[in-house]
Amino acid sequence: MIGLALGLSTGAASGETWPELPTQDASVRIPAQEWPYRPGPRTVEVWVYYPGKSLDKVGPQTGIMLSLHNWGGTHATGTADPRTLADRLNVVTLCVDYLQSGRKEGVEGPEPYDCGYLQALDALRAVHFIYAGLKARNHPFAAGRIYATGGSGGGNVALMANKLAPHTFACIVPMCGLAKLNDDIAYGLPGGSSVNARYSQDPQSPHYLTPDARELRFVGHPAHLQVMRNLKTTCKIVVVHGVDDTQCPFADGREMVENMRQTGLDVEAHFITKNDLDGKVFTSAGHPLGNRTLIVFKVADKYLLPDSPEAIVRRSPPDFDLRDAAVRYPTPNGCFVISYEAGYPVGRFEAKESAR
């Protein structure tokens, strides 16, 4: 099927050049995995925020944290403020202009919206860039303090990053994140969410949404959650979602949380109702939620602050150090494999013989 190309991207372009770590807050471009819709080399922009604005301020307690923008946004739109995160939580905060960032590409572009797969690989490469760069310099940092947050589409990418790197994150805080590609969102059907991922239901279309691509992008997929459990993921997943959210439907978020609970993953849900609105942190039980920087602090300070008695720190190696291809998600016509054999992640789809 033509649409299987959504999963067939096999890896990094040859001759990749990675930048040096900046010594001060800066933006850099890192190489990214090829996008089948536009074959050829690709890079993404990454904004690096150090605590105290300097690499010299990174110390033994300093972690790494993604703060991921919303669907159609860039840099830090719709997510927690990276500068504030860096200084309050003692983390190197990363904002990533992942695949299809910006309104022109994300909302108005001709190609279907990725909805988390290559976008999460882009974000994970950004984390690897900092992680590997600090290790190469023998610079002390807290390798077990790797976190992520994001709003809306960024919440989706944070959830997908944890799915594709189940040994890496200590805690993630997705806010009003998209949980799956339901028909309404995938095909832009009327009467539901206002977002349209622009996929086709025609198997002969290059924009066809295959069952395999759809299943991978469901972050609450029961069989895939069981894979994560079997891989001994320990990430604390702090979900924040408004009960009146129709853009990233609350029903899908609630289903995801329930499936995580039934699988035994460590999930904590904050389902925001009108009774939770305080006019400062939470101002809406719908999609906006409120101040997304303060929301992270309110629901997860105790897990993210380095000196908190309840601080969450991973004690085992991240996927970047495991350098294997053990992350494998079966789908109807094959299996998605996320390989860390190069250190950074490379995704590929392995089709069943009967589906080739």
Query: Would you say residue 144 has pLDDT above 80?
Result: yes
Q: 267 has which bridge partners?
A: 237
Q: Alpha-carbon distance 172 to 266, whole Å?
A: 11
Mind listing the pLDDT tens digit for each residue in 208-266? 999 999 999 999 999 999 999 999 999 999 999 999 999 999 999 999 999 999 999 99
125, two tokens: 């490469």
Q: Sheet containing 236-242: which strands, arranged edge to edge?
A: 26-32, 42-49, 91-97, 63-68, 146-151, 171-175, 236-242, 267-272
User: Span 258-285, mean pLDDT?
Assistant: 98
Is residue 169 within 8 Å of residue 265, measured between CB atoms?
no
For residue 11, what pLDDT is reported? 39
**pLDDT classification of 12: cutoffs 50, 70, 90:** very low
For residue 198, what pLDDT is reported? 97
Query: Would you say residue 5 has pLDDT above 60?
Result: no
Is residue 207 within 8 Å of residue 2, measured between CB atoms?
no
For residue 16, what pLDDT is reported? 81
Domain ranges of the chain: 2-355
Range 192-204 burial, b when 16+ CB lie within 10 A, else e: ebebebbbbeeee
Task: Name the average pLDDT for the chain.
Answer: 94
Q: Among 3.30.390.10, 1.10.10.10, 3.40.50.1820, 3.40.50.720, what is the CATH number of 2-355?
A: 3.40.50.1820
User: Span 135-157, mean pLDDT?
Assistant: 98
What does each C-alpha distance from 139 to 63, 185, 206 come to in angstroms? 12, 44, 46
Mind listing the pLDDT tens digit for each residue in 324-339? 999 999 999 999 999 9
Mind listing the pLDDT tens digit for each residue in 294-307? 999 999 999 999 99
Q: Alpha-carbon distance 171 to 306, whole Å?
A: 13
Q: Scanning the structure block, which residue is given the tokens 């003692």? A: 90
Which candidate, 261, 245, 251, places its Cα nearest to that of 182? 251
User: Span 169-184, mean pLDDT?
Assistant: 97
Query: What's the farthest any 2 CA atoms get from each other in the chain?
Result: 57
For residue 112, what pLDDT is reported? 98
Is residue 332 within 8 Å of residue 215, measured between CB atoms?
yes
For residue 10, what pLDDT is reported? 35
Is residue 277 within 8 Å of residue 285, measured between CB atoms?
yes
Q: 282 has which bridge partners?
A: 290
For residue 7, what pLDDT is reported? 40
For residue 278, what pLDDT is reported? 98
Query: Would you say residue 120 has pLDDT above 60?
Result: yes
Mind listing the pLDDT tens digit for each residue in 161-175? 999 999 999 999 999
Query: Would you say residue 63 has pLDDT above 90?
Result: yes
For residue 353, what pLDDT is reported? 78
Query: Would you say residue 13 has pLDDT above 50?
Result: no
For residue 2, what pLDDT is reported? 32
Which candidate, 124, 247, 230, 108, places its Cα nearest to that of 177? 247
Query: Would you say residue 132 has pLDDT above 90?
Result: yes
Which candidate, 166, 196, 190, places its Cα nearest to that of 178? 196
